[in-house]
Amino acid sequence: MPREPPLSVNSGSVTNRTLIKDLASSSDGPVSVSGWVETVRDQKKVQFVVLRDETGAVQLVNPRATDADGAIVATDVSGTITSLSQGSFLTATGDLKHDERVKLGGVEIKLETLDVTTIAIPETPIADDSGIDKRMDWRFLDLRVPKNALIFKIQTTLEHAWRTYWVENDFVEIHTPKLMASASESKAELFRVDYFEGSAFLSQSPQFFKQMAQSAGFGKIFEVGPAFRADPSFTSRHATEFTSVDSEISWIDSHEDVMKLHEELLVAGFQAVKDKHGAEIEALFGFELVVPTIPFPRIPLAEAKEIVASRGYEVPRADDDMDPEGERQIAAYVKETYGHEFVFLTDYASSIRPFYHMRHADDPSLTNSYDLIFNGVEISTGAQREHRVEILEEQARSKGLEPEELSGYLDFFRYGVPAHGGFGMGLSRVLMLMLHLANLRETTYLFRGPTRLEP
């Protein structure tokens, strides 16, 4: 059972709060800061508290009071500090002093008052060496770690840069439904849910609705939203719920137009992240973020498999997609040959692509499609879509689908639609690979997998 807090606490109301990141540019003198306790050093003659907020950390200093004989005298502040536990939230007031000898930001605050908002249980359930599953159990504590919190500041900057690119280039933002009457792409990996007297399915992708926007004449659209896959995988790069980044454009000549959009969008995002967080990434993650150059390398899938084979690895099935080891091998080749972290693998076989991917005009066994590989992992699939309804019907039948089952989708094409294409991309995968992390759970705020529905 949680123990009773050792201190009385206040209502949490704060006025004139200064963010810790702004202390370095503030003048010496009275200041008020609020945050949570990171460490306490309760020494005989002086007490130190490291207080952290969402922007940084600062050292609070409380020289112990003494009487005329030099004996230590207890005060309200000293008693409060002695009783503080890691993670407690409080507001501190005192005198700000700039001192270059202070390692933590070159400033410190000499305390006058401490108002405790909430007291934390002293025993912390996770530690620096806790496994990832344990950390996910206590995610709210895990995210107090500056390195982990930075991931989601980077995510914010990345998404803002993408949205800025889209808006400045006249894209329309849409929000597609996540409750579906039927499969959005395939009958596999579907979550079925109760829906009044019947059933519905959680959307695997906004694919069909992105294409509907092309028929509606929107021209260029984007969406950042949830997608669901009932995939029982337990790998470090799969999730049952993830954030999908999607875009679709009209009046294209081929999938090359989609790849051009895709690489420009990524460069805009990477540049914004480097500009705002480059120094923090280097300090906390230990590497310099590289903004990719345009154009990204492009290699047909068949050629990529030959390159991988020449490096001593054979993709198990010659007529199938590149497997994870093949992706790592081709990424290593591209890094060695082009000095690039990205590569488009193009011209996928129609046998392993959805029915709505357009096939080559001179070779129907291939599609106008690609996968984008980033640091050895696939982060996206893109393609030119087939917009001719009679060919769509034929290609659906070749995949074992009956056009009648797709009537709502096929109606989009019966009343006119321009040539179009687009891509879907996993947000958490991009962040994972951008930051050289090994697990998608690190870059997902609250991960969902086959065995995790909490917190």
My answer on whether 193 and 320 are in the same domain is yes
My answer on whether 231 and 103 are in the same domain is no
Does a structural domain hold residue 197?
A: yes
My answer on whether 433 and 290 are in the same domain is yes
Structurally, the chain folds into a number of domains equal to 2
Q: At what angle do helices 407-414 and 389-398 cross, to 10 degrees?
A: 150
Q: At what angle do helices 427-434 and 255-285 cross, to 10 degrees?
A: 50
> How many other β-carbons are positioned within 10 Å of the β-carbon of residue 150?
17
Range in 8-12, 78-82, 269-273, 298-302 with the lowest mean pLDDT: 8-12
> Is pLDDT at 7 greater than 90 in this prediction?
no
> Is pLDDT at 428 greater than 90 in this prediction?
yes
* Residue that wins the pLDDT comparison between 337 and 233: 337
CATH of residue 394 = 3.30.930.10
Separation of alpha carbons 358 and 341, rounded Å? 28
Tokens for 42, please give them.
């309760």
Does a structural domain hold residue 6?
A: no
> Is pLDDT at 14 greater than 70 in this prediction?
no
The answer to the question of whether 18 is labelled as a binding residue is no
The answer to the question of whether 185 is labelled as a binding residue is yes
Instruction: Report the percent of the chain where pLDDT is more than 70.
Output: 95
Domain of residue 271 covers: 137-443
Does a structural domain hold residue 153?
A: yes
My answer on whether 253 and 392 are in the same domain is yes
- The pLDDT tens digits for 366-424 are 999 999 999 999 999 999 999 999 999 999 999 999 999 899 999 999 999 999 999 99
Question: pLDDT tier at 1 (50, 70, 90 boundaries)?
Answer: very low
- The pLDDT tens digits for 220-239 are 999 999 999 998 988 888 99
- Among 118, 147, 175, residue at a domain's last position: 118
The answer to the question of whether 428 is labelled as a binding residue is yes
Residue 185 is predicted with a pLDDT of: 61
The answer to the question of whether 408 is labelled as a binding residue is no
Could you say which DSSP state residue 380 is in? E
My answer on whether 146 and 292 are in the same domain is yes
Question: pLDDT tier at 433 (50, 70, 90 boundaries)?
Answer: very high
Residue 316 is predicted with a pLDDT of: 87
Residue 5 is predicted with a pLDDT of: 43
My answer on whether 176 and 97 are in the same domain is no
Tokens for 35, please give them.
């945050």
Residue 12 is predicted with a pLDDT of: 56
My answer on whether 83 and 231 are in the same domain is no
CA 66 from centroid of its chain's CA atoms:
52
- The pLDDT tens digits for 152-190 are 999 999 999 999 999 999 999 999 999 998 765 666 789
CATH of residue 90 = 2.40.50.140
Range in 178-192, 280-294, 353-367 with the lowest mean pLDDT: 178-192
Separation of alpha carbons 75 and 145, rounded Å? 31
Residue 183 is predicted with a pLDDT of: 66
My answer on whether 250 and 113 are in the same domain is no
Separation of alpha carbons 372 and 298, rounded Å? 9
Q: Global pTM?
A: 0.92
Residue 8 is predicted with a pLDDT of: 47
The mean per-residue pLDDT over the stretch 135-156 comes to 97
The answer to the question of whether 64 is labelled as a binding residue is no
My answer on whether 218 and 312 are in the same domain is yes
Range in 54-68, 294-308, 323-337 with the lowest mean pLDDT: 54-68
CA 8 from centroid of its chain's CA atoms:
39
My answer on whether 201 and 82 are in the same domain is no
Average pLDDT of the chain, as a whole number: 93
The answer to the question of whether 400 is labelled as a binding residue is no
Separation of alpha carbons 265 and 268, rounded Å? 5
Cis ω before 295 (30° cut-off from 0): yes
Residue 66 is predicted with a pLDDT of: 79
The answer to the question of whether 17 is labelled as a binding residue is no
